[in-house]
């Protein structure tokens, strides 16, 4: 019976100030949508880093005039280097085969290039791809080395952009969360004011604090949960529309977001929505109800 | 006990010591600002003294934690000058509300509320809203609400302040009847007429000190 009373108070409270309730839910939804998006991007970037860095190579190209001795020195130095996991030597002939493969579509280009023109190289896999800089510094000045190319540099740029998106979404999520928080505080103040007589009587006759506060706090929590559901719907809509749009072109680069991942991010959104609302409501009540 | 409010130049209550027995009927009288209301607030654990102790129903409330206050309040009924009824609820609903918010079921309310409304003389007017009742009747609803939970103590803060003399007498008869059930009644008032007629214990306070404590006293 008390539960029924509290729940009916919650519904009445949400309905009494319905414009404010809608504003609260929408703000909450946008904030949580951004939070969810940011969370998904964070996961994606993590996944992709694992995937790409695993296969990333550092190539040390040798000059045309490299001597037998220089090559052997370099080879043994690389093989004993603790930063290096794997060393693969690619001679001119192998480089040519790779080149042929890569440009199989352009036979003219392949015909124009002789194996002799392609540089020999060492292909390295590093234990830690982020140690590229050290490799670069160490071998740049070695004799016979022409150029050191790190694939991870390109990846860094891609990941930089993605991380930028992620931080942007997070920033928007935080700003919207502040707006949602202020709306919750305001809604609770209005609700507490419109129920001030009831609250005064309840305090007088000894209703417990939780009983007095619960309807207000739950009102905010319900709004927060509705906001998170709307945010989830927005994420789902984004996934569906993105599949058929220009974003699909990125499919090869960015691993696609699965439904499972979207639904897994929902508890985070709902949790943050509910906790932030409840916390704000509770703090507001401390100031405006003084039970 | 002594109570000094922040920013006050002199204590609101200065070294006051009062003992009220169970089942007594006590008037606190004195001019405005003499400290009568502070006593009521202390009994309700709304304020705590700076010095001394407040013991209510055998419990020391001076050091009581605020989260225990709601439960403590259930043993005290309160009536005020301005009735404090909920305007959008009927007489019955006002009384039932007080029961339901402390966890009593609707079934209990259905059994107890008509009984107590009958006791205060409002039988047949259960479904009127406060604005459909006279001042005296509204105060009766307030008394019913204060008494429905069978408190050990009934605090009345100028309960007749807004009522005409005849109605006031009726309310006093009602409080007297409640007192006879064994409930301690503590009443703050300015109404000399009533004090003189009731001939109960009178404690007079002036500038935070007790200047008179007289059994079967008059307003003086």
Q: Are A193 and A267 in a shared domain? A: yes
Is any Cβ of chain A less than 8 angstroms from the Cβ of B82? no
Domain-located, residue A228: yes
Percent of chain A with pLDDT over 90: 21
DSSP letter for B2, please: B
What pLDDT score was predicted for residue A250?
Answer: 58
Q: Which chain A residue's Cα is nearest to B77?
A: A205
- A12–B contact, CB cutoff 8 A: no
d(CA B104, CA B140): 22
Long-range pairs of B14-18 with CB within 8 A, sequence gap ≥ 24: B14/B207, B14/B208, B14/B209, B15/B51, B15/B52, B15/B209, B16/B205, B16/B208, B16/B209, B16/B210, B17/B52, B17/B210, B18/B203, B18/B210, B18/B213
* pTM (predicted TM-score): 0.73
Confidence check: pLDDT of A106 > 80 = no
A202 CA: distance to closest CA in chain B (Å): 7
Please tell me whether residues A18 and A77 are part of one structural domain.
no
**A220 contacts A187 by C-beta, under 8 angstroms:** yes
Q: What is the mean pLDDT of chain B?
A: 91
The residue extents of the domains of chain B are: 1-75+152-220, 85-150
Contact B76, B44 (CB under 8 A): yes
Helix/strand/coil for B149 = coil
A11 with A93, same domain?
Answer: no
B100 and A204 within 8 Å at the Cβ level: the answer is no
Closest to A211 (Cβ–Cβ): which among B67, B86, B101?
Answer: B101
- Dihedral Cα A95, A98, A103, A109, nearest 10 deg: 30
Main-chain dihedrals φ then ψ at residue A126, nearest 5 degrees: -100, 150
Asked whether the beta carbons of residue B102 and residue A1 sit closer than 8 angstroms, the reply is no
For testing contact with chain B, the best of A204, A209, A214, A289 (most B CBs within 10 A): A204
Chain-chain contact of A203 with B72 (C-beta, under 8 angstroms): no
Q: Which of residues 2-61 of B touch A (CB under 8 A)?
A: none
Q: pLDDT of A17-49, one tens digit each?
A: 888 899 999 999 999 999 998 888 888 877 777
Mutate to test the interface with A, among B101, B113, B152 (most CBs of A within 10 A): B101
Distance CA B103, CA A1 (A): 8
Whether residues A207 and A98 share a domain: the answer is no
Phi, psi at B89, each rounded to 5°: -125, 150
The residue assigned the tokens 């009178």 is B202
Average pLDDT rounded to a whole number, residues B95-111? 92
Domain boundary among A78, A109, A143: A143
Quote the pLDDT of residue A146. Answer: 82
Preferred mutation among A205, A213, A286 to probe B, highest tally of B CBs within 10 A: A205
Residue holding tokens 């009847």?
B177
B74 and A209 within 8 Å at the Cβ level: the answer is no
* A279–chain B nearest CA distance, Å: 19
Residues A188 and A270 in one domain: yes
Query: pLDDT per residue over A121-160, tens digit each?
Result: 888 887 777 777 787 887 877 778 888 887 777 777 877 8
A291–chain B nearest CA distance, Å: 9
pLDDT band at A247 (very low <50, low <70, confident <90, very high): low
Residues A249, A219 share a domain: yes
The pLDDT, as a whole number, for residue B207 is: 87
Q: Do B98 and A205 touch (CB under 8 A)?
A: yes
CB A282 within 8 A of CB A187: no
Residue A234 lies in a domain: yes
Q: Is residue A58 part of a domain?
A: no
From residue A6, how far is each of A175, A237, B97 by CA, in Å?
32, 35, 13
Grade residue A245 by pLDDT with cuts at 50, 70 and 90. low
- What pLDDT is recorded for position A253? 59
Q: Is the pLDDT of residue A119 over 60?
A: yes
For residue A104, tell me if it sits in a domain: yes
Q: Which of B87, B101, B106 sits opposite A205 (nearest CB)?
A: B101
Q: Over 90: is that where the pLDDT of B200 sits? A: yes
Backbone angles phi, psi at B111, to 5 degrees: -80, -45
Distance between CA atoms of residues A26 and A16, nearest Å? 17
The domain that contains A109 carries what CATH number? Answer: 3.30.70.3040
pLDDT tens digits, A52-86: 777 777 888 888 777 888 888 888 888 888 888 88
Structural domain count, chain A: 2
What number is the average pLDDT over the span B4-20? 80
Residue A1's pLDDT is what?
Answer: 54
* Model pLDDT, residue A88: 83
How many angstroms separate the CA of residue B68 from the nearest CA in chain A? 9
Q: Which contiguous run of DSSP H or E holds residue B170?
A: helix B165-180
Q: Which of A1-5, B152-156, B216-220 has the highest mean pLDDT?
A: B152-156
Instruction: Out of A1, A203, A209, name the one closest to residue B105 (CB).
Output: A1
Range of the domain at A109: 64-143
CA-nearest residue of chain B to A211?
Answer: B101
Q: Is A85 on the interface with B (CB under 8 A)?
A: no
Would the CB atoms of B70 and A207 count as touching at under 8 Å?
yes
Last residue of a domain, one of A90, A121, A143: A143
Residue A255 has pLDDT above 80, yes or no: no
**Cβ of A206 and B106 within 8 Å?**
no
For residues A136 and A173, membership in a common domain is answered with no
Pairing of strands B25-29, B184-188: parallel
pLDDT at A256 exceeding the cut of 80: no
Report for A37-46, A117-126, A193-202, A243-252: range of highest mean pLDDT: A193-202
Q: Which of A87, A121, A143 is the last residue of a domain?
A: A143
Q: What is the pLDDT of residues B31-86, one digit of tens each?
A: 888 888 888 888 888 888 888 889 998 888 888 888 888 999 999 999 999 999 99
Judged by CB atoms closer than 8 Å, whether chains meet at B71 and A208 is answered as: yes
> A90 and A117 share a domain?
yes
SS (H, E, C) chain A: CHHHHHHHHHHHHHHHCHHHHHHHHHHHHHHHHHHHHHHHHHHHHHHHHHHHHHHCCEEEEECCCCCHHHHHHHHHHHHCCCCEEEEEEECHHHHHHHHHHHCCCCHHHHHHCCHHHCCCEEEEEECCHHHHHHHHHHHCCCCCEEEEEEHHHHHHHHHHHHHHHHHHHHHHHHHHHHHHHHHHHHHHHHHHHHCHHHHHHHHHHCCCHHHHHHHHHHHHHHHHHHHHHHHHHHHHHHHHHHHCCHHHHHHHCCCCCCHHHHHHHHHHHHHHHHHHHHHHHHHHHHHHCCC
Kindly give the interhelix angle for A209-243 and A2-16, rounded to the nearest 10 degrees.
Answer: 60
- State the best of B67, B69, B70 to mutate against chain A, taking most chain A CBs within 10 Å: B70
Judged against a pLDDT cut of 90, whether residue B145 lies above it is answered with yes
pLDDT above 80: residue B214: yes
Residue A175 clears pLDDT 70, i.e. is over it:
yes
Residues of B with Cβ-Cβ distance to A200 under 8 angstroms: 84
Average pLDDT over chain A reads 83
Per-residue model confidence (pLDDT) at position A202: 92
Are A132 and A200 members of one domain? no
Same domain, A70 and A182: no
The answer to whether B106 contacts A5, with C-beta atoms less than 8 Å apart, is no
CA-nearest residue to B107 within chain A is A1
Q: What is the CA radius of gyration of chain A?
A: 30
Q: What architecture is the B1-75+152-220 domain classified under in CATH?
A: 3-Layer(aba) Sandwich (3.40)
Q: What residues are paired with A126 via a beta bridge?
A: A84
User: Using the beta-carbon criterion (under 8 Å), do B86 and A5 form an inter-chain contact?
Assistant: no
Q: State whether A173 and A276 are in the same domain.
A: yes
Q: Which H or E element spans position B6?
A: none
Q: Which of B56, B12, B43, B48 is nearest to B30 (CA)?
A: B12
The ipTM of this complex is: 0.88
Residue A186, phi then psi, degrees to nearest 5: -65, -45
Same domain, A132 and A174: no
Q: Looking at residue A147, what is its pLDDT?
A: 81
pLDDT value of position A96: 83
User: Residue A221 has what pLDDT?
Assistant: 94
- Taking residues B169-195, report their average pLDDT: 94
Phi, psi of B4 (to 5 degrees): -120, 125
With respect to residue A24, please indicate whether it lies within any of the assigned structural domains.
Answer: yes
Q: What pLDDT score was predicted for residue A249?
A: 55
- Nearest CA distance, A20 vs chain B (angstrom): 23
Q: Does A253 touch chain B (CB under 8 A)?
A: no
């Amino acid at each position: 019976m008390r539960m029924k009373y509290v729940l009916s108070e919650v519904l009445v409270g949400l309905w009494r100030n319905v414009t404010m309730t809608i504003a609260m839910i929408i703000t909450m939804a946008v904030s949580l949508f951004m939070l969810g998006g940011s969370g998904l991007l964070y996961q994606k970037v993590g996944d992709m880093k694992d995937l790409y860095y695993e296969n990333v190579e550092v190539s040390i190209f040798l000059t045309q005039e490299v001597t037998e001795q220089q090559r052997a020195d370099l080879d043994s130095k690389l093989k004993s280097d603790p930063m290096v996991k794997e060393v693969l030597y690619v001679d001119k002939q192998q480089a040519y085969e790779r080149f042929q493969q890569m440009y199989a579509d352009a036979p003219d280009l392949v015909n124009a290039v002789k194996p002799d023109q392609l540089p020999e190289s060492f292909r390295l896999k590093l234990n830690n791809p982020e140690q590229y800089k050290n490799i670069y510094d160490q071998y740049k000045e070695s004799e016979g080395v022409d150029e050191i190319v790190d694939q991870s540099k390109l990846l860094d740029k891609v990941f930089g952009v993605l991380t930028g998106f992620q931080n942007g979404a997070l920033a928007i999520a935080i700003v919207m969360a502040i707006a949602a928080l202020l709306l919750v505080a305001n809604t609770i103040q209005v609700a507490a004011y419109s129920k001030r007589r009831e609250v005064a009587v309840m305090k007088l006759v000894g209703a417990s604090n939780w009983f007095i506060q619960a309807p207000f706090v739950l009102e905010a929590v319900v709004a927060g949960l509705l906001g998170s559901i709307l945010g989830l719907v927005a994420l789902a809509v984004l996934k569906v529309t993105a599949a058929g749009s220009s974003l699909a072109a990125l499919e090869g680069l960015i691993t696609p977001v699965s439904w499972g991942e979207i639904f897994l991010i929902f508890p985070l959104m709902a949790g943050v929505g509910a906790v932030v609302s409840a916390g704000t409501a509770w703090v507001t009540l401390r100031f405006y109800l003084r039970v | 006990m002594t109570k000094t409010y922040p920013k006050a130049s002199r204590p609101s209550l200065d070294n006051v010591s009062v003992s009220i027995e169970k089942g007594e009927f006590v008037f606190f009288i004195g001019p405005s600002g003499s400290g009568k209301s502070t006593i009521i607030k202390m009994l309700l654990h709304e304020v705590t003294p700076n010095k001394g102790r407040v013991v209510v129903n055998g419990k020391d409330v001076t050091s009581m934690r605020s989260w225990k206050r709601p439960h403590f309040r259930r043993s005290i009924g309160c009536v005020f000058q301005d009735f404090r009824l909920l305007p959008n609820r009927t007489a019955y609903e006002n009384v039932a509300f007080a029961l339901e918010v402390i966890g009593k079921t609707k079934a209990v309310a259905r059994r107890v509320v008509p009984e107590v409304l009958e006791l205060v003389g409002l039988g047949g007017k259960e479904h009127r809203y406060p604005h459909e009742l006279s001042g005296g009747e509204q105060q009766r609803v307030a008394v019913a609400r204060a008494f429905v939970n069978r408190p050990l103590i009934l605090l009345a803060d100028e309960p007749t302040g807004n009522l005409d003399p005849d109605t006031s007498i009726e309310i006093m008869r009602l409080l007297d009847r409640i007192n006879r059930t064994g409930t301690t009644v503590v009443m703050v008032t300015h109404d000399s007429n009533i004090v003189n007629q009731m001939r109960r214990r009178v404690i007079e306070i002036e500038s935070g000190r007790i200047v008179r404590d007289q059994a079967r006293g008059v307003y003086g």
